[in-house]
């Protein structure tokens, strides 16, 4: 009996060992490796860091990983604690299904990040796909176009995640591309996709996960937004990229074009999509997590009551007259004190807050290190220090 039990335990251990080796074995990508040929630049403006990245996919990734090594390891430790040791490897199995749909250039970049930071490829993959796997519903955005109601173009965005540790890890990434558009991405260590972005053609974008009944294994949302940033000269270019992609989950994309003075929200599931344009009688459009287009409403799940409150607050606040930077800032810094539900635009989940004012060549980033990060005000930067809008 003891002998049989021994062999059973031994067999189980062997199965677990080979399963672990299978799960953690990185993909063979055959990426071009040019370590050290191109050097990224790190600047510190406490509590923020600014990272300039150059070169091909792997080179950008290796610079990213090397410059933010400690920060990336911190984010990985947070993920492992949040998910749990066993569930972490289950999440890797799920992430592998998304990995198959990521363009090779971005996969090579993740490989570079992993090697530069001294972590595994799948640690970086999880950082970049966690939202797609867990459907983290939050966030609010607003675009004001130049009109009778406003003298300037304004893009404001609060990113809400249930992981307060990220509040102290906001990074301004500046991607300097030779053949594609250069762009600004405000994200977190190890994240190579786009959560909040603005490119040198004046295109801006932000992500708002929407819980839907239609999901599939497709390109993770952050990578889809990055394709938009790198390849869009106009909103029509962006619409085409999103509509022809193999999307993985429901989302509301706030999109705008400074040069065209246009703004819209793309509401989509894995299989359906609609575009909501700003009403010309008010000069702005707001975006949270629920679908507002009539044909899209049927695909929403019920997790959007707080989303409706945030959208209504933005709309009602701006219907009162002229729209200014001060009025937008007051909306995005308003916190109702609710520690349980995210009912206000700034809330206990707001780990990132950004306002772009391209007419003034100005970009503001919340400077707090705990949510809501804009409660202590903003740091100001010249956009032209990062990109030149052509």
Per-residue pLDDT tens over the stretch 143-171: 999 999 999 999 999 999 988 999 999 99
Q: Residue 302's pLDDT is what?
A: 60
Q: Residue 37's pLDDT is what?
A: 59
Count of positions (residues) in the chain: 390
Three-class secondary structure of residue 60 per DSSP: helix
User: Is this prediction's pTM over 0.95?
Assistant: no
The two most distant CA atoms of the chain are separated, in Å, by 86
Three-class secondary structure of residue 38 per DSSP: coil
How would you classify the pairing of strands 196-199 and 41-45? unpaired
Show the CA angle centred on residue 121, arms to residues 24 and 103, nearest 5°: 115
Q: What is the dihedral of CA 375, 376, 381, 386, to 10 degrees?
A: -60
Q: Residue 129's pLDDT is what?
A: 95
Q: Residue 279's pLDDT is what?
A: 82
Is the bond into 47 cis (omega within 30 degrees of 0)? yes
Three-class secondary structure of residue 190 per DSSP: coil
Q: What is the dihedral sign for C-alpha 368, 374, 380, 386?
A: positive
Q: Six-digit token pair at 113?
A: 């990040």
Q: Beta-carbon neighbour count of residue 50 at 10 Å?
A: 18
Q: Residue 20's pLDDT is what?
A: 44
Q: Beta-carbon neighbour count of residue 366 at 10 Å?
A: 30
Segments in the chain below pLDDT 70? 1-29, 34-38, 302-303
- What domains can you pick out in the chain, each with its CATH number? 137-165+201-384 (3.60.60.10)
Q: Residue 300's pLDDT is what?
A: 86
Q: Residue 24's pLDDT is what?
A: 54
Q: Do 193 and 222 touch, CB atoms closer than 8 A? A: yes
């Amino acid at each position: 009996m003891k002998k049989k039990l021994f062999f059973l335990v031994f067999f189980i251990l062997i199965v677990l060992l080979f399963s672990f080796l299978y799960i953690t074995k990185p993909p063979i990508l055959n990426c071009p490796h040019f370590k050290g040929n191109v050097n990224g630049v790190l600047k510190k403006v406490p509590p923020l860091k600014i990272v300039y990245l150059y070169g091909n996919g792997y080179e950008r990734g290796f610079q990213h990983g090397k410059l933010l090594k400690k920060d990336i390891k911190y984010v990985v430790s947070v993920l492992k604690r949040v998910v749990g040791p066993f569930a972490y490897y289950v999440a890797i199995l799920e992430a592998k299904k998304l990995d198959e749909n990521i363009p090779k250039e971005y996969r090579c970049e993740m490989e570079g990040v992993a090697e530069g930071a001294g972590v595994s490829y799948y640690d970086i993959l999880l950082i970049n796909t966690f939202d797609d796997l867990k459907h983290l519903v939050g966030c609010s955005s607003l675009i004001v176009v130049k009109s009778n109601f406003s003298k300037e173009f304004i893009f404001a965005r609060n990113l809400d995640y249930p992981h307060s540790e990220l509040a102290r890890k906001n990074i301004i990434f500046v991607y300097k591309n030779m053949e594609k558009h250069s762009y600004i991405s405000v994200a977190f260590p190890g994240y190579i996709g786009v959560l909040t972005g603005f490119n040198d053609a004046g295109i801006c974008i932000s992500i708002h996960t929407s819980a839907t009944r239609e999901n599939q294994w497709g390109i993770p949302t952050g990578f889809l937004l990055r394709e938009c940033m790198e390849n869009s000269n106009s909103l029509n270019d962006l619409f085409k990229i999103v509509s022809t992609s193999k999307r993985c989950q429901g989302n509301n994309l706030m999109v705008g074009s400074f040069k065209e003075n246009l703004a819209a929200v793309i509401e989509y599931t894995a299989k359906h999509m609609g575009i909501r344009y700003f009403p010309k009688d008010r000069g702005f459009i707001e975006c949270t997590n629920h679908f507002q287009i009539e044909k899209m409403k049927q695909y929403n799940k019920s997790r959007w009551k707080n989303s409706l409150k945030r959208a209504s607050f933005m709309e009602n606040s701006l219907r009162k007259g002229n729209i200014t930077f001060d009025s937008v800032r007051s909306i995005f810094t308003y916190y109702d004190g609710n520690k349980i539900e995210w009912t206000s635009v700034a809330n206990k989940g707001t780990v990132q807050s950004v306002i772009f004012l391209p007419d003034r060549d100005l970009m503001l980033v919340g400077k707090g290190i705990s949510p809501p990060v804009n409660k202590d005000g903003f740091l100001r930067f010249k956009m032209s220090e990062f990109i030149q809008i052509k």
